[in-house]
Amino acid sequence: MAVLAPARAFATAPPNSVGGTDQAVTTTSIDTLFPATKRDTSECAGHSIELPDCGGAGRGTALMYVTFGLLFLGVAFIFWRVARSVKARDAALNASNP
């Protein structure tokens, strides 16, 4: 399970080659790729529906609109095929019953 809060990494330098016990401790912060939010990241994690103020600025990208357009065209194509099939069936039934 991943922790979505910013993490700190603590690195220690190799032991002193002179034989001393002094070790230098360097603190390095690791920046996560989680988008900047107005809420605490722990509040935003684990929800299937995005909470307000938990998203990044790039939510409405062009690919989202392309995907929506393709879904719309697919559904429209299905309705067109069904309507065409119903008309063909009705025409065949009307032709067989004079």
Do residues 1 and 33 share a domain?
yes
Q: Is 43 found in the same domain as 18?
A: yes
Please tell me whether residues 51 and 39 are part of one structural domain.
Answer: yes
11 and 32 share one domain: yes
- Boundaries of domain holding 78: 60-98
The pair of three-digit structure tokens given for residue 69, joined into one six-digit string: 């357009």
Indicate whether 97 pLDDT > 90: no
Q: Is residue 37 pLDDT above 90, yes or no?
A: no
Query: 94: pLDDT confidence band, cut at 50, 70 and 90?
Result: very high
Q: Tens digits of per-residue pLDDT, 56-71?
A: 655 667 888 999 999 9
Phi, psi of 27 (to 5 degrees): -100, 125
DSSP label at residue 13: P
Asked whether the beta carbons of 37 and 54 are under 8 A apart, the reply is yes
Number of domains in the chain: 2
Q: How far apart are CA 78 and CA 13, in angstroms?
A: 65
Can you read off the two tokens belonging to residue 74?
A: 């697919």
Q: Are 41 and 34 in contact (CB under 8 A)?
A: yes
